């Protein structure tokens, strides 16, 4: 969207008679020598809209009523604008309010400024409408499969006209999509907030070691020590996944994986089949544990809890549908 600049024609203030001529010196001097910001030298939109209403209605009182302000407030606003510009703008009499010659000139310029502001406002609204028409979400696997569906259903009820797309991948892929502008908001499950992103915790999670009922660990009474777990070949997610990051942070160097798979579902299926121990989110194995298709193995000496986060690029605070989605995550028990 291109911006429009409203400029005051050079020397125009001098064409309005003695009052305007006196104002011309004041305005010209301020504009050329003071170096003050334009906002200090040009009346604000509220004052310009009031002046236009006075010109159209011929009455300061009617203009004040139309704009929803008191007449004393309107009079004060006009006086403040006259002091700022250094010229008289309105002649007041019992019969009404009439623009001076300088006031007529200023009104013409004010009309152009207000029209430019209306175009600016319409353009900004178009940008908001475009933003609100879609939401691109990137999420790591566990969140995408077990938490986001409920959040997105709730968002759909709140914003039925917003088209939502979900890109699922590991936490490293989510970070990359956010940093390249491919996603508006993301959800990760690794250790801390990735570089270049801001974030907020939306849920807590725990990793569990699971085995098939026929595995030897399913029958052991003592917990598996952290060192033993680290030395055991495991069925794991790929490098870059949040689950793998948390496990490495808790155990340090890991044994070479028994299997390295790119989805939570694949890891879970391999564990159910009896291939070996796996480490998965508690969210992902609830049904399998309840049905005894998998058995949870206690671990001693390792912190396997993690925080699930919503993330976005630094400096890009979520707005519109992204902000609404975050509010829904915080409403989740």
> 113-128 pLDDT, tens per residue?
999 998 888 888 777 7
Same domain, 103 and 217: no
Same domain? For 104 and 143 the reply is no
Q: Tokens 């400024």 — which residue?
A: 113
Residue 308, helix vs strand vs coil: strand
Give CA angle at 242 (238, 245), nearest 5°. 80
> Using one digit for the tens of pLDDT, what is the confidence trace for 214-259?
999 999 999 999 999 999 999 999 998 999 999 999 999 999 999 9
Task: Examine the fold and report which residue of 71, 97, 128 is the final residue of a domain before the chain moves on.
Answer: 128
Averaged over 192-215, what is the pLDDT?
95
CATH of residue 81's domain is 1.10.10.10
Q: Are 319 and 199 in a shared domain? A: yes
What CATH number does residue 179 fall under?
Answer: 3.40.190.290
Q: What gap in Å lies between CA 129 and CA 49, rounded to an integer?
A: 26
Residue 74, domain extent: 12-128
Backbone angles phi, psi at 262, to 5 degrees: -100, 10
pLDDT tens for each residue of 306-325: 999 999 999 998 988 999 99
Q: Which single residue is written with the structure tokens 């699971």?
A: 210
Residues 99 and 198 in one domain: no
Two tokens at 65? 């009523």
Co-location of 115 and 244 in the same domain: no
**C-alpha separations of 287 from 265, 291, 292, 293, 295 in Å:** 13, 6, 8, 9, 11
On whether residue 295 sits in a domain, the answer given is yes
37-72 per-position pLDDT tens digit: 888 889 999 999 999 999 999 899 999 999 999 999
Beta bridge partners of 308: 203
> Do 217 and 143 share a domain, yes or no?
yes
pLDDT in tens, 63-95: 999 999 999 999 999 999 999 999 999 998 877
Q: Is residue 38 part of a domain?
A: yes
Query: Which residue, 128, 149, 169, sits at the end of a domain?
Result: 128
CA within 13 Å, CB half, 28: 12
Q: CA-CA-CA-CA torsion for 248, 251, 252, 254, nearest 10 degrees?
A: -70
Tokens of 297: 């193995």
Whether residue 259 lies inside any domain: the answer is: yes
pLDDT at 261: 95
**What is the distance between the terminal CA atoms of the chain, rounded to a whole angstrom?**
42
- The last residue of a domain, from among 84, 101, 128: 128
CA atoms within 13 A on the CB side of 305: 3
Q: What pLDDT sits at residue 331?
A: 62
Q: CA separation (Å) from 55 to 22, 32, 51, 104, 242? A: 22, 29, 6, 8, 65
**Domain shared by 300 and 188, yes or no:** yes
Q: DSSP of 147-173, one letter per residue?
A: THHHHHHHHHHH-TT-EEEEEEE-HHH
The answer, yes or no, to whether residue 297 has pLDDT greater than 60, is: yes
Share of the chain above pLDDT 70, in %: 88
Q: Where are the alpha helices (DSSP H) in 273-333?
A: 286-290, 321-330
Beta-ladder partners of 167: 138
Whether residues 96 and 154 share a domain: the answer is no
Is residue 317 domain-shared with residue 220, that is, in the same domain? yes
Rounded CA-CA distance 217/215 in Å is 5
Same domain, 184 and 103: no
Distances (CA, A) of 172 to 124, 140, 186, 233, 313: 33, 9, 11, 23, 14
Residue 3 lies in a domain: no
Residue 2 is assigned to a structural domain of this protein: no
The helices-and-strands tally (H runs, E runs) of the chain is: 14, 13
Mean pLDDT of the chain: 87
Question: Does residue 253 lie in a domain region?
Answer: yes
The pLDDT of residue 281: 95
151, 260: one domain: yes
Residue 31 clears pLDDT 50, i.e. is over it? no
- Token readout for 316 is 């890009």
Question: Do residues 111 and 37 share a domain?
Answer: yes
Q: Is the pLDDT of residue 203 over 80?
A: yes
Looking at the domain assignment, is residue 1 inside a domain?
A: no
- Tell me whether residue 5 is in a domain: no
Q: Exposure pattern of 114-151 as b/e (b: 16+ CB <10 Å)? A: beeeeeeeeeeeeeeeeebeebbbbbbbbbbbbbbeeb
Average pLDDT over residues 188-200: 92
Q: What is the pLDDT of residue 35?
A: 72
Contact 143, 187 (CB under 8 A): yes
Counted domains in the chain? 2
């Amino acid at each position: 969207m291109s911006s429009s600049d409203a400029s005051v024609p050079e020397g125009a203030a001098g064409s309005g008679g003695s009052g305007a001529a006196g104002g011309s010196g004041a305005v010209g001097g301020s504009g050329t020598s003071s170096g003050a910001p334009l906002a200090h030298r040009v009346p604000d939109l509220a004052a310009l809209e009031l002046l236009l209403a006075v010109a159209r209605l011929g009455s300061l009182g009617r203009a004040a009523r139309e704009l929803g302000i008191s007449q004393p407030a309107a009079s004060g606003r006009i006086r403040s604008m006259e002091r700022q510009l250094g010229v008289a703008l309105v002649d007041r009499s019992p019969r009404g309010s009439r623009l001076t010659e300088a006031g007529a000139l200023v009104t013409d310029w004010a009309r152009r400024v207000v029209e430019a502001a209306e175009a600016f406002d319409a353009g900004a609204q178009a940008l908001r409408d475009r933003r609100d028409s879609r939401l691109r979400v990137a999420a790591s696997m566990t969140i995408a499969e077990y938490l986001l569906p409920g959040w997105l259903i709730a968002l759909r009820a709140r914003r039925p006209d917003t088209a939502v797309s979900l890109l699922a991948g590991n936490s490293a892929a989510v970070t990359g999509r956010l940093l390249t502008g491919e996603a508006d908001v993301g959800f990760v499950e690794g250790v801390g907030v990735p570089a270049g992103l801001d974030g907020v915790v939306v849920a807590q999670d725990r990793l569990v070691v699971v085995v098939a009922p026929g595995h030897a660990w399913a029958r052991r009474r003592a917990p598996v020590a952290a060192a033993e777990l680290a030395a055991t070949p495991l069925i794991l997610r790929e490098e870059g996944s949040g689950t793998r990051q948390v496990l490495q942070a808790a155990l340090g160097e890991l044994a070479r994986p028994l299997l390295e798979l790119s989805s939570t579902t694949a890891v879970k299926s391999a564990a159910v089949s009896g291939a070996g121990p796996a480490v998965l989110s508690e969210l992902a194995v609830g049904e399998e544990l309840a049905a005894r298709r998998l058995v949870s193995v206690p671990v001693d000496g390792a912190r396997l809890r993690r925080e699930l986060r919503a993330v976005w690029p630094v400096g890009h605070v979520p707005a519109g549908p992204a902000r609404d989605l975050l509010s829904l995550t915080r409403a989740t028990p």
